[in-house]
Amino acid sequence: MHVVLPDGKRLEVAAGATAADVAAAIGPGLARAALGARLDGALSDLMTPVHDGAQVAIVTKRDADDLLFLQRHTLAHVLAQAVRELMVAEGHAPGDVKMGIGPVIEAGFYYDFDLPRSLTPEDLEAIEARMRAIVAADLPLARTEVPRDAALARWRAAGDPYKVELIEDLPEDVAITFYAQGDAEAGFTDLCRGPHVPRTGSVTPHFKLTSVAGAYWRGDERRPMMQRVYGVAFGSAEDLERHEWQVAEARRRDHRKLGAELDIFVLDEDVGPGLPLWLPRGTVMIDELERLAKEMEDAAGYKRVRSPHLSKEQLFLKSGHLPYYADSMYPAMELDDVRYFVKPMNCPFHHKIYAARPRSYRDLPLRLAEYGTCYRYEDSGALMGLMRVRSMQMNDAHIYCTEDQFEAEFLKVIDLYLAYFELFGIDEYRMRLSKHAPDGLGKKYVDQPELWVRTEDMVRRAMTDAGIPFFEADDEAAFYGPKIDVQIKSAIGREFTLATNQVDFAQPGRFDLTYVDEHNQKQTPICLHRAPLSTHERMIGFLIEHFAGDFPLWLAPEQVRIVPIADRHVAPAHELVDRLAAVGLRAEVDASNERMQAKIRDAELYKVPYVVILGDHEVDDGTVAFRSRQEPERRGVPVAAFIDHLAAHARARSRTIEPLAT
């Protein structure tokens, strides 16, 4: 038999050869460097047998991502072995140490255990020390294919019901494999489909156990609670350090924590999960974002509309949300024999507004915008702060245009995205062309195969012509057409799926939307769905984390806190508030009985950009003294100059402040 190498060369190998044998056949140098393989494009370990005609590429240290995956997977086994050793060393019977699964996850790995006692954070140190010993022992990993009966017998004997269940659930045609590291006594054997590095010594030394937490077996709250030990692993000390900084930073910036501290939003048990209440400070941010969107959209020729939040069932049957989107919708309200639904999207309503008047080609493009609130019933387990909610106010718009206008309109939307990224200082973003999957036609995608291909081509061409980098992904489209999904990275490198620019070739036809063209013929417009500012929920969640609550002046809920030194300065403080308000700046006076330092600290907790101290000197001179989070402290600044300074930056929506000239 033979295999095919990356350069296309055929290499003859013996029947039953493994990837390791192929590496050895290619050359001793590669065999020494080999730590894994890619068989027919999928990641495997060197122990994996190759089949006749297989495409084989050998993974070495140079293939960092692949290698890291293998190492993390092996580290999960090393972790399991270490925990078992620890338990046995403590005198527990090996049969009392039961194990679930141990997969690779983003940044690392975990393993689920059912143990005779609870692990504490302190145990992690001891476990990690044992792991390092196992790594230092450089145990070889051996892969064996085991008949189903033998595999079941092995784990039944070990008294491990989880492994037994896993084997029982495997389809009949799947080969069952064990991975053993070290010998039967000193080592460890696990049910696993691989892949792994060849020896425990081949894992990266840059790993760390991070936490232990409860997790239901198979995520099912009716099944036993396991103990899940998490670890991280990277190829270099720098990567590990950067990751740890990111994690700490993400914790510090967590929008749920800051959202509470900065009085931005709350969730309430009586209202329900995923249904945030916006406090006054959060509402200021919403209002500022809406003002921004309105300005940008006015300038770009959008027209604003408003639509109700619920509708009769027949609207969603017409749009196709029923049945294609039914899983994400709240259930019906039934009254007088009519079923009403809260809207999961605004589009059907905008289509109705389009259809409410006859349209001519002269009216196109027609761009209808609305910050519409939608309702989607996300699984309660999937809900997360503002990032995944059940009620969302969307920066929505629908652009109806001719096919000739499509490319220009599509790119104008992309330009709008880029303008927002610039404004918020988002330097890193990726655009993905999300396409349909042919086997989803008629199920999650409208069943018009030729239109799918054609519109996907149109989007691809528009993006390519404009020179905008993007990648493609199958089976990620909306039910009515392909879309560009935008992934952005926050200041600390966290990824957010922000918003989409979608082409809709299905709904305009379903809604009988037409326009009369130059030749007096009825035509069906194309529709673009777009939401560059995403939803208020996700956008503000992102902005909190991106800016760590230190918002640019224009977005800060409270822009100036005024601290009068004595009671006689309270009236002038309120006058200053009025002068600031007259140019649209938001200021508050702290007239409480607290000491001045306490007042300044309070303003700092709210991350108020400017704290103005007002005493005799300032009131007499008509000046202010201020501290700022974004420029050096100053005294003796004439009030008018201070107000102009702030107003100019707020108006320009500057991200940083040009310090006031002295």
Residues that bind its own copies (CB under 8 A): 263, 266, 268, 270-272, 275-280, 282-284, 286-287, 298, 303-312, 314-315, 318, 330-336, 338, 340, 342, 349, 352-353, 356-357, 362, 368, 373, 375, 377, 380, 391, 393, 581, 592
Q: What is the β-pairing status of strands 391-401 and 42-44?
A: unpaired
Count of CA atoms in the C-beta half-sphere (13 A) of 376: 20
Q: Give the count of alpha carbons within 13 A of 327, CB side only.
A: 5
- Please tell me what DSSP assigns to residue 23: H
- Whose Cβ is closer to its own copies: residue 268's or residue 403's? 268
**56 versus 305: smaller Cβ distance to its own copies:** 305
Question: Is the separation of the CB atoms in 311 and 348 below 8 Å?
Answer: yes
Closer to its own copies by Cβ: residue 275 or 641? 275
What's the closest the beta carbon of residue 587 comes to its own copies, in angstroms? Answer: 12
Q: Quick one: 256 or 318, whose CB is closer to its own copies?
A: 318
**CB crowding 239-278: b at 16 or more within 10 Å, else e:** bbeebeeeeebbeebbbbebbeebebbebeeeeeebebeb
Query: Minimum Å distance from CB 356 to its own copies?
Result: 4
Classified as helix, coil or strand, 136 is helix
Nearer to its own copies, 272 or 632 (CB): 272
The CB-of-313 to its own copies minimum distance in angstroms stands at 9
Q: 200 and 137 in contact (C-beta within 8 Å)?
A: yes
Q: What are phi and psi of 159, to 5 degrees?
A: 70, 30
Provide the minimum distance between the beta carbon of 380 and its own copies in the complex, in angstroms, as a whole number. Answer: 7
Least CB distance to its own copies at residue 355 (A): 8
Residue 146 or 332: the one with the smaller Cβ distance to its own copies is 332
Output the smallest distance, CB 543 to its own copies, in A. Answer: 16
Q: How far is the CB of 153 from its own copies (least distance, A)?
A: 41
CA 338 to CA 314: how far, in whole Å? 9
Backbone angles phi, psi at 630, to 5 degrees: -130, 0
Q: How many CB atoms within 10 Å of residue 95?
A: 11
d(CA 46, CA 196): 8
Cis peptide before 365 (omega within 30 of 0): yes
Q: Are 109 and 102 in contact (CB under 8 A)?
A: yes
Q: Least CB distance from residue 255 to its own copies, whole Å?
A: 17
The residue (of 130 and 343) whose beta carbon lies closer to its own copies is 343
Tokens 């081509």, residue? 457
Q: Token pair of 657, please?
A: 């402040």
∠ CA 214-217-220, nearest 5°, is 100
Compute the least distance from the CB of residue 416 to its own copies, in Å. 18
Closest CB 487 distance from its own copies, rounded Å: 27
Least distance from its own copies to the Cβ atom of residue 410, Å: 22
Nearer to its own copies, 282 or 532 (CB): 282
* Residue 127 Cβ vs its own copies, minimum distance, rounded to whole Å: 38
Nearer to its own copies, 305 or 484 (CB): 305
Tokens 């939003």 correspond to what residue?
Answer: 265
Nearer to its own copies, 29 or 584 (CB): 584
**Whose Cβ is closer to its own copies: residue 206's or residue 376's?**
376
Residue length, the chain?
A: 662
Element (H, E) at 26: helix 19-26
Cα 595 from Cα 44, distance rounded (Å) = 66
Nearer to its own copies, 381 or 632 (CB): 381
Alpha-carbon span 557 to 559, nearest angstrom: 6
Q: Closer to its own copies by CB, 139 or 513: give it.
A: 513
φ/ψ (deg, to 5) at 61: -60, -25
CA dist 538 and 129 (Å) reads 41
Least CB distance from residue 497 to its own copies, whole Å?
22
* Interstrand relation of 42-44 and 36-39 (parallel, antiparallel or unpaired): antiparallel
Question: For residue 396, how far is the Cα from the chain centroid?
Answer: 20
How many angstroms separate the CA atoms of 481 and 433, rounded?
11
Name 179's Cβ contacts closer than 8 Å, sequence gap at least 6: 77, 141, 142, 143, 189, 190, 192, 194, 196
